[in-house]
Copies of this chain bind each other. A is one copy, B any other.
């Protein structure tokens, strides 16, 4: 049974899953869903049958169809525990999930494509405002939790959320000077092979 990832090169939610698939050494077929062309391929009825939110990613794996990047990351770790992408200790696990949610519910939804399209002309200021505001909170969290990576010295789900969000911060021209921990961890992670392979510039649909 082939594992299939429906993805868009620059989608931060797809990117999170690409990193996890690489780390877990799961081979997959990449199917591009172009979020902009012809009003957005994610709105086609064949795609929304798989993903009712009309978002990427969607993962076909083990004979089922999964959506929502965080649910997918947890599923991959539940079914393929090695290498772990969550710590064993419940408290450390909570800290990883806290950082994840700070990004995936606190920042990313406010600057995703559908929201920016709705905001219209002032979308650059809008995205900039929310990323910068909540990066202060994220920097604070990381100043307490981080070692080499977001939580200690092992790569976790939190790192998979961080790197795509920093890429978006750069697109929105957020000055990174006030965020030394975010900057440092992003640089360390970006040098890892699995993270390099999952980068937008390495995807078949990159532009």
Does residue A54 face the partner (Cβ distance < 8 Å to B)? Answer: yes
Chain B: minimal CB distance from A137 (Å): 4
Q: Are A78 and B105 in contact, with the CB atoms below 8 A?
A: no
A94 and B115 in contact (CB under 8 A), knowing A105-B104, A109-B109, A110-B109? Answer: no
Count A-side interface residues using an 8 Å CB cutoff: 42
Contacts of A72 in B (CB 8 A): 94
Contacts of A95 in B (CB 8 A): 71
Question: Which of A60-68, A171-179, A199-207 contacts its partner?
Answer: A60-68
Contacts of A93 in B (CB 8 A): 74-75, 78
Q: Which residue of B lies closest to A106 (CB)?
A: B53
Does residue A2 face the partner (Cβ distance < 8 Å to B)? Answer: no
Task: Choose from B74, B90, B108, B137 the contact partner of A97 (Cβ within 8 Å).
Answer: B74
Q: Are A90 and B79 in contact, with the CB atoms below 8 A?
A: yes
Q: Which residues of A contact B (CB under 8 A)?
A: 52-55, 62, 64, 66-72, 74-75, 78-79, 90-91, 93-95, 97-98, 100-102, 104-106, 108-110, 115, 118, 129, 134, 136-138, 140-141
30 contacts between A and B (CB under 8 A): A52-B138, A52-B140, A53-B102, A53-B106, A53-B134, A55-B106, A66-B94, A66-B98, A68-B97, A68-B98, A68-B102, A68-B105, A69-B101, A70-B97, A71-B97, A71-B100, A71-B101, A74-B94, A74-B97, A75-B90, A75-B91, A75-B97, A101-B105, A104-B105, A105-B105, A105-B109, A106-B109, A109-B110, A110-B110, A110-B115
Sorted nearest first, the 4 A-B pairs with minimum C-beta distance are A71-B97, A52-B137, A52-B140, A68-B101
